[in-house]
């Protein structure tokens, strides 16, 4: 038995030799079975030892070579009671643990009732855990003070800037005013000066005026005194020849009695109403630009007046252009430029002119002068009308190209327009005077609403009152041009009249006399009378100085009576009635005509005094006459 | 802009080009036509370069007409045509690398312009490098744009002064896809002139028609 026992935890797998007999036979210690091994290991569990025993563990192992007898002793004590169940110690330990647990459980359940037992915390020393409250207060105060300081600083800055803005607005800083000026007018900086341009050169005008104005700072302000309401830190200085105000006065006056006077008109005179926020410089600049525009228009007109040739040459005196569109009519255009502030001269009695007419004329003049301006155009497109660009690809021929190109000047256009307006008003006056003077055939004039600047038209109807549906053969369409009036008759004739008033009047009078005879013709159809002869221009009888006389002869349905009417513009109307022979007062007897039936033929004539007949107009009288001469069946 | 008919009048026997032209002028004046200035039509030829060898290069013709002074017309023979601004010639100079100008092939027709009511008659001498090659007569009826409607009237009018040289209805109108009753274009006039110039080029040089 000198086997060394190695204390280890693993299972012994190789059998230990118990004794070796003399004959060499080894007697093995019987191997422990699995359950025996487990029981052995379970006995080694010590429930009483805490974790400190782990530290004792390696000490024990180090003491092991010297402490051999101890484990033997332990095993010996264990082996001393081999009759005990190997799990007994384990059971005992568990039982004691269970007891402890039950006690704890009971205590807790008693505590839960709170009747017999209570838990109270043990008071702790406060000085060990918290900082003193005074310190907390001080630190909080400090941090709040820093935050407040920051906020105050920011607020101060804001109020300062707001105060500054208000101060600026009140004082109207020069730069902000300059910005406003720049938004409406062209400015540029030359050296130290700021110059601006108020001419129309950027729109293509070729007028040689420079049109520059200078912007100056207004420094004569006393900051101590109160700032006046209309104070402006900026002032403009306009060229001396554009100071004041100008306008163009156009007048058409007659020089002979029969031509009407169209009066006088002032264009570009009224200053546009100043908007409430606009500055003095704005008004000044606008007035100067107006003066420039008037000057340019007048310069263009006077240049053309000298250049173009017309039948009656135009006269250009210092600031006035005089021309005669029609003989006896004088058109004068003058430029009135007044410098200075004499307000008393402004009160002129021009308020009688209607406002819209002025604006139309001003707009017309604006358009005309804009056509003279050559718009800036890219280098690749040539001068001239925009539509000329299409001339190449659309293969325009010479007629179309020349119609696109303008060859007329401003003055010519103005004179043409003036002529047309004058002719139109005179035509209207002629027609109206005739209509009011003559009652028997009535004249109606229907003017067309749509005109052009050079052409208007009117439709003239000559009717008899009460017989409009029957007698409507005279309808004239008058196209009033620049110098002539073209009349288109209903029957297709086209007649051209000159601008003379008398021609139109004579023509209308002759048409009126023709109307009477036409009316008798239509009336005869209605009444059942037969037209025997009708002529628009008879060659018999007294010669008329205006036009020709017309005549008609109608016979009654029975053939017994006949009415002959001859009407001339000057000689008036003559009505003759033809009776059958047996109604004549003196019956010329003759040997050749013996039969009684020949007495029923028509014979002698008797004149009718139209003036003494009843009837509102001539056609009515004719109707009565016809009715009287056809006996009732 | 009206229906145009371009035809060639052969030079009279034993007479020069100028004399034939004078004869025509006299006939027109007897009719009652009024002289209204001059006219000219010219045609330049361009070769298209840079195409595959073996194929004949297409010829581009650029023509001008004094009736449409601001336009240039470019057309291929029997092919599409283009009406453009006068700057087209400058464009052709820029396209020198693609289109070569055949300078010796410029043909032009110059002459007088007569007006007889609604008819415009232009009698011109066709010249190529200042040698007269033939006579061109253009009759335009300004009142109508449909060839089918007015061809008979035009033919009758032409017979009155051209006599036996009156042409038939030009092929340009009959070749149109839509027929005779479509409106004319300035291209039709130019195609007729091109045809005439082509014929003149192919003709031999007339005897006795040196520098005019």
Q: Which two tokens stand for residue B185?
A: 């274009």
Asked if A392 lies within 8 A of B1 by C-beta distance, the reply is: no
In a domain, A268, yes or no: no
In a domain, A262, yes or no: no
pLDDT tens across A373-407, in order?
Answer: 766 666 666 666 677 778 888 888 888 888 777 66
Searching chain A, which residue's CA lies closest to the CA of residue B85? A392
Q: Which two tokens stand for residue B44?
A: 């330049």
Q: What is the mean pLDDT of residues A502-530?
A: 94
In a domain, A150, yes or no: no
The pLDDT score that the predictor gives to residue A456 is 95
Which chain A residues touch B if contact means CB-CB below 8 Å? 388-389, 391-398, 401
The pLDDT score that the predictor gives to residue A299 is 85
Give the residue, A453 or A434, on which the prediction is more confident.
A434
The pLDDT score that the predictor gives to residue B211 is 44
In a domain, A83, yes or no: no
CB A236 within 8 A of CB A217: no
Q: What is the mean pLDDT of residues B34-53?
A: 85
Percent of chain B with pLDDT over 90: 47
3-class SS of residue B73: strand
Q: What is the mean pLDDT of residues A623-633?
A: 87
Q: How far is CA A238 from CA A210, A241, A242, A336, A577, in A?
A: 11, 8, 7, 19, 88
The pLDDT score that the predictor gives to residue A368 is 75
Distance from CA of B179 to the nearest CA of A (A): 22
What span, in angstroms and rounded, lies between the C-alpha atoms of B46 and B53?
A: 17
What span, in angstroms and rounded, lies between the C-alpha atoms of B188 and B151?
A: 15
CB A185 within 8 A of CB A198: yes
The mean predicted confidence, pLDDT, of chain B is 87
The pLDDT score that the predictor gives to residue A223 is 54
Asked if B67 lies within 8 A of A398 by C-beta distance, the reply is: yes
Where does B3-204 sit in CATH, by number?
Answer: 2.40.320.10
Q: Which two tokens stand for residue B51?
A: 């195409």
The pLDDT score that the predictor gives to residue A126 is 63
What ipTM was reported for this prediction? Answer: 0.75
Q: Which two tokens stand for residue A417?
A: 């327009």
Measured between CB atoms, does B206 come within 8 Å of chain A?
no
CB A212 within 8 A of CB A197: yes
Measured between CB atoms, does B75 come within 8 Å of chain A?
no
Q: Which of residues 80-119 of B touch A (CB under 8 A)?
A: 83-88
The pLDDT score that the predictor gives to residue A64 is 44
What span, in angstroms and rounded, lies between the C-alpha atoms of A20 and A23?
A: 8
Minimum mean pLDDT range among A150-164, A298-312, A346-360, B38-52: A346-360
3-class SS of residue A257: coil
| End-to-end CA gap in chain A | 190
pLDDT tens across A330-353, in order?
Answer: 888 888 888 765 443 343 434 444
Residue A448 gets which letter from DSSP?
Answer: -
> Highest-confidence range of A25-39, A103-117, A124-138, A197-211, by mean pLDDT?
A103-117
3-state helix, strand, coil in chain B (%, to 5): 30, 40, 30
Asked if B67 lies within 8 A of A392 by C-beta distance, the reply is: no
The pLDDT score that the predictor gives to residue A74 is 46
Q: A94 CB contacts (<8 Å, ≥6 apart)?
A: none
The mean predicted confidence, pLDDT, of chain A is 80
Look at residue B128 and tell me whether its pLDDT is greater than 60.
yes
Searching chain B, which residue's CA lies closest to the CA of residue A388? B70
In a domain, A59, yes or no: no
Reference A468, options A613, A574, A620; nearest CA is A620
Asked if B73 lies within 8 A of A394 by C-beta distance, the reply is: no
Same domain, A361 and A432: no
Residues of B in contact with A391 (CB under 8 A): 68, 70-71, 85
Which residues, listed in sequence order, are joined to residue A533 by a DSSP beta bridge?
A553
What span, in angstroms and rounded, lies between the C-alpha atoms of A291 and A237?
A: 15
Distance from CA of A396 to the nearest CA of B (A): 6
The pLDDT score that the predictor gives to residue A76 is 44
Residues of A in contact with B83 (CB under 8 A): 392-395
Rg (CA), chain B: 18
Percent of chain B with pLDDT over 70: 93
Give the residue, A68 or A379, on which the prediction is more confident.
A379
Q: What is the mean pLDDT of residues B96-103?
A: 84
Q: Where are the domains of chain B?
A: 3-204
Give the residue, A444 or A258, on which the prediction is more confident.
A444
The pLDDT score that the predictor gives to residue A434 is 94
Residue A307 gets which letter from DSSP?
Answer: H
pLDDT tens across A189-221, in order?
Answer: 888 888 888 888 877 777 888 888 888 877 665
Same domain, A453 and A372: no
Distance from CA of B37 to the nearest CA of A (A): 12
The pLDDT score that the predictor gives to residue A622 is 94
Measured between CB atoms, does B40 come within 8 Å of chain A?
no
A518 phi/psi in degrees, rounded to 5: -60, -40
Same domain, A501 and A605: yes
Distance from CA of B36 to the nearest CA of A (A): 13
Q: Alpha helix (H) ranges present in chain B?
A: 17-31, 88-94, 147-162, 171-174, 186-202
The pLDDT score that the predictor gives to residue A233 is 74
Q: Alpha helix (H) ranges present in A174-255?
A: 174-184
Look at residue A188 and tell me whether its pLDDT is greater than 80.
yes
What span, in angstroms and rounded, lies between the C-alpha atoms of A160 and A170?
A: 15
Q: What is the mean pLDDT of residues B175-199?
A: 89
Same domain, A220 and A298: yes
Tally of residues, chain A: 633
CB A179 within 8 A of CB A194: no
Residues of B in contact with A398 (CB under 8 A): 67, 69
What span, in angstroms and rounded, lies between the C-alpha atoms of A324 and A418?
A: 10
The pLDDT score that the predictor gives to residue A342 is 47
Q: What is the mean pLDDT of residues A99-110?
A: 94
Q: How confident is the model at residue A103 (pLDDT cuts 50, 70, 90)?
A: very high
Q: A474 CB contacts (<8 Å, ≥6 apart)?
A: A461, A462, A490, A511, A512, A514, A515, A518
Q: How confident is the model at residue B4 (pLDDT cuts 50, 70, 90)?
A: very high
Same domain, A573 and A432: yes
Q: B159 CB contacts (<8 Å, ≥6 apart)?
A: B166
Distance from CA of B82 to the nearest CA of A (A): 8
Q: A434 CB contacts (<8 Å, ≥6 apart)?
A: A443, A505, A508, A509
What span, in angstroms and rounded, lies between the C-alpha atoms of A549 and A256?
A: 32
SS (H, E, C) A226-239: CCCCCCCCEEEECC
Strand order, beta sheet including A186-190? A186-190, A193-197, A212-217, A234-237
Q: Which of A395, A396, A400, A404 to mutate to test binding with chain B, by most B CBs within 10 Å of its CB?
A: A395
Tally of structural domains, chain A = 2
Q: How confident is the model at residue A77 (pLDDT cuts 50, 70, 90)?
A: very low
Q: What is the mean pLDDT of residues A516-520?
A: 94
Measured between CB atoms, does B70 come within 8 Å of chain A?
yes
Minimum mean pLDDT range among A426-435, A598-607, B131-140: A598-607
Residues of B in contact with A388 (CB under 8 A): 70
Measured between CB atoms, does B145 come within 8 Å of chain A?
no
Q: What is the mean pLDDT of residues A588-616?
A: 83
Q: Which two tokens stand for residue B7?
A: 């035809």
Look at residue A124 and tell me whether its pLDDT is greater than 80.
no
The pLDDT score that the predictor gives to residue A68 is 45
Distance from CA of B12 to the nearest CA of A (A): 33
Q: Which range of residues forms the domain containing residue A481?
A: 427-583+598-632
Same domain, A206 and A297: yes
The pLDDT score that the predictor gives to residue A58 is 46
Facing B84 at nearest CB: one of A392, A397, A398: A392
Measured between CB atoms, does B36 come within 8 Å of chain A?
no
CB A562 within 8 A of CB A555: yes
Q: What is the mean pLDDT of residues A413-433?
A: 88
What span, in angstroms and rounded, lies between the C-alpha atoms of A371 and A386?
A: 12
What span, in angstroms and rounded, lies between the C-alpha atoms of A540 and A412?
A: 49
Same domain, A219 and A312: yes
The pLDDT score that the predictor gives to residue A394 is 85
Q: A567 CB contacts (<8 Å, ≥6 apart)?
A: A513, A514, A516, A517, A549, A550, A551, A573, A574
pLDDT tens across B160-179, in order?
Answer: 988 888 888 888 888 888 88
Measured between CB atoms, does B38 come within 8 Å of chain A?
no
């Amino acid at each position: 038995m000198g086997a060394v026992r190695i204390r280890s935890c693993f299972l012994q797998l190789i059998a230990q030799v118990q004794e070796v007999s003399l004959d060499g036979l080894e007697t093995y210690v019987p191997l422990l079975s699995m359950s025996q091994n487990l029981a052995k290991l379970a006995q080694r569990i010590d429930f009483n030892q805490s974790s400190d025993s782990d530290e004792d563990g390696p000490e024990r192992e180090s003491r092991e070579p010297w402490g051999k007898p101890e484990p033997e002793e332990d095993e010996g004590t264990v082996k001393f009671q081999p009759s005990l169940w190997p799990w007994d110690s384990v059971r005992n330990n568990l039982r004691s643990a269970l007891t402890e647990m039950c006690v704890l459980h009971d205590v807790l359940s008693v505590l839960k009732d709170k009747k017999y037992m209570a838990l109270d915390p043990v008071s702790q020393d406060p000085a060990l855990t918290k900082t003193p409250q005074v310190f907390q207060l001080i630190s909080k105060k400090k941090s709040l003070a820093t935050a407040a300081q920051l906020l105050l600083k920011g607020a101060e800055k804001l109020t300062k800037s707001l105060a500054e803005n208000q101060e600026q607005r009140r004082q109207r800083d020069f730069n902000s005013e300059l910005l406003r000026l720049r938004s409406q007018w062209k400015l540029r900086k030359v050296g130290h000066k700021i110059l601006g341009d108020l001419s129309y050169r950027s729109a293509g005008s070729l007028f040689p005026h420079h049109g520059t104005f200078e912007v100056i700072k207004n420094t004569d302000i006393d900051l101590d005194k109160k700032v006046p309401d209309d104070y402006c830190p900026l002032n403009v200085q306009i060229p001396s020849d554009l100071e004041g105000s100008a306008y163009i006065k156009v007048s058409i006056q007659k020089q002979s009695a029969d031509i009407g006077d169209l009066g006088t008109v002032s264009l570009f005179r009224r200053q546009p109403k100043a908007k409430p926020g606009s500055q003095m410089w704005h008004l000044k600049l606008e007035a100067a630009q107006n003066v420039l525009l008037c000057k340019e228009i007048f310069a263009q007109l006077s240049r053309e007046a000298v250049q173009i040739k017309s039948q009656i040459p135009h006269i250009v005196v210092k600031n006035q252009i005089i021309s005669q569109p029609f003989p006896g009519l004088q058109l004068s255009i003058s430029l009135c430029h007044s410098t200075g502030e004499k307000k008393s001269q402004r009160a002129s009695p021009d308020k009688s002119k209607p406002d819209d007419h002025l604006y139309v004329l001003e707009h017309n003049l604006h358009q005309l002068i804009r056509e003279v301006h050559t718009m800036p155009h890219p280098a690749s497109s040539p001068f001239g009308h925009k539509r000329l660009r299409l001339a190449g690809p659309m293969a325009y021929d010479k007629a179309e190209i020349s119609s696109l190109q303008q060859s007329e000047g401003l003055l010519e256009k103005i004179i043409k327009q003036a002529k047309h307006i004058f002719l139109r008003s005179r035509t209207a006056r002629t027609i109206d005077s005739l209509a009011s003077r003559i009652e028997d055939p009535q004249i109606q004039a229907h003017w067309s609403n749509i005109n052009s600047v050079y052409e208007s038209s009117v439709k003239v109807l000559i009717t008899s009152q009460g017989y409009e549906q029957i007698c409507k053969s005279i309808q004239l369409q008058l196209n009033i041009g620049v110098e002539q009036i073209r009349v288109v008759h209903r029957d297709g004739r086209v007649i051209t009249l000159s601008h003379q008033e008398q021609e139109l009047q004579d023509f209308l009078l002759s048409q009126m006399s023709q109307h009477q005879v036409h009316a008798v013709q239509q009336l005869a159809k209605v009444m059942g009378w037969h037209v025997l002869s009708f002529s628009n221009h008879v060659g018999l009888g007294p010669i008329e100085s205006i036009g020709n006389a017309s005549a008609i002869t109608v016979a009654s349905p029975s053939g017994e009576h006949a009415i002959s009417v001859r009407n001339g513009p000057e000689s008036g109307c003559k009505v003759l009635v033809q009776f059958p022979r047996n109604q004549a007062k003196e019956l010329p007897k003759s040997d050749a005509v013996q039969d009684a039936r020949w007495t029923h033929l028509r014979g002698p004539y008797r004149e009718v005094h139209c003036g003494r007949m009843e009837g509102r107009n001539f056609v009515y009288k004719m109707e009565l006459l016809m009715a009287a001469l056809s006996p009732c069946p | 802009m009206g229906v145009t008919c371009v035809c060639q009048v052969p030079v009279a026997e034993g007479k020069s080009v100028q004399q034939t032209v004078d004869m025509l002028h006299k006939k027109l004046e007897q009719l009652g036509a009024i002289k209204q200035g001059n006219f000219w039509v010219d045609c330049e030829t361009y070769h298209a370069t840079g195409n595959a060898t073996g194929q004949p290069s297409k010829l581009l013709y650029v023509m001008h007409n004094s009736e449409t002074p601001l336009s240039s017309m470019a057309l291929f023979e029997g092919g599409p045509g283009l009406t453009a601004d006068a700057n087209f010639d400058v464009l052709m100079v820029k396209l020198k690398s693609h289109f070569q100008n055949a300078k010796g092939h410029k043909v032009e027709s110059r002459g007088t312009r007569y007006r007889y009511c609604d008819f415009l008659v232009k009698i011109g001498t066709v010249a190529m490098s200042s040698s007269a090659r033939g006579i061109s007569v253009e009759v335009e009826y300004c009142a109508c744009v449909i060839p089918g409607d007015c061809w008979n009237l035009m033919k009758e009018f032409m017979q009155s002064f051209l006599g036996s040289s009156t042409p038939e209805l030009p092929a340009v109108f009959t070749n149109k896809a839509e027929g005779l009753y479509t409106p004319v274009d300035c291209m039709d006039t130019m195609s007729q002139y091109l045809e005439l110039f082509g014929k003149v080029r192919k003709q031999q040089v007339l005897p006795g028609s040196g520098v005019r």
